[in-house]
Chain A
Amino acid sequence: MLFYSFFKSLVGKEVVVELKNDLSICGTLHSVDQFLNIKLTDINVTDPEKYPHMLSVKTCFIRGSVVRYVQLPADECDTQLLQDATRKEAAQNKQR
């Protein structure tokens, strides 16, 4: 549940979601769930050629499995905290 918790801490921040079909969508992270499905609000498309005509779409739900990358604001990410949480999660998973 590491990344679920991590994304919950980023709710309200601007992210760019790149999908496996090469679409890049910039928006405010509204919510996330255990499958890392993502809801974005106030979206606009970033890369020029790779976007569909979503001019009238303001919010969207993205199935987690179609995400390739999520570009994050670097200053919102506590890397030390991430690394410590990863070590704990890895240890917990090993004990199972």
Chain B
Amino acid sequence: MADDQDQAIPVQTVEEPLDLVRLSLDERIYVKMRTDRELRGRLHAYDQHLNMILGDVEETVTTSEIDEETYEEIFKTTKRTIPMLFVRGDGVILVSPPMRTAT
């Protein structure tokens, strides 16, 4: 049959954790990173180190301050958007589909 010519893409079964990441290519994902950072963006590329390229990214940085009088922890978030971003894998903690509270 003519189908046997280009075997560029082999069988795609999910066996190892990185196969789960492969399923999210061209989808929006959530990335938790070290130093209290989170990214939400479209996954365009990744490798075994979890280096990634994300498009239309929103980065959320969470900082906590201690109120001097009440000694309670106040959490603040800072967000910014970046159109195309390379992320070095050694900062990544986890990768997941975006967690939405929508039904």
Contact = CB atoms under 8 A, between A and B. Distances in A.
Interface of A: 2-3, 6, 20, 36, 64-65, 67-74, 77, 79, 82-83, 85-91, 93-94
A3 B45 contact: yes
B45 A85 contact: yes
Contacts of A94: 15-16, 19
- Residue of A2, A71, A90, A91 with highest tally of chain B CB at under 10 A: A90
Contact of A68 (B15, B25, B91): B91
Interface of B: 8-10, 15-16, 18-19, 22, 25-26, 42, 44-48, 51, 53, 55, 82-88, 90-91
Contact of A65 (B10, B18, B90): B90
B88 A67 contact: yes
Chain A interface helix/strand/loop/mixed: helix
B51 to A, nearest CB: 5
B85 A69 contact: yes
A85 B19 CA distance: 15
B47 A3 contact: yes
Nearest to B11: A91
Given A72-B53, A88-B8, A83 B85 contact: no
Contacts of B19: 90, 94
A16 to B, nearest CB: 9
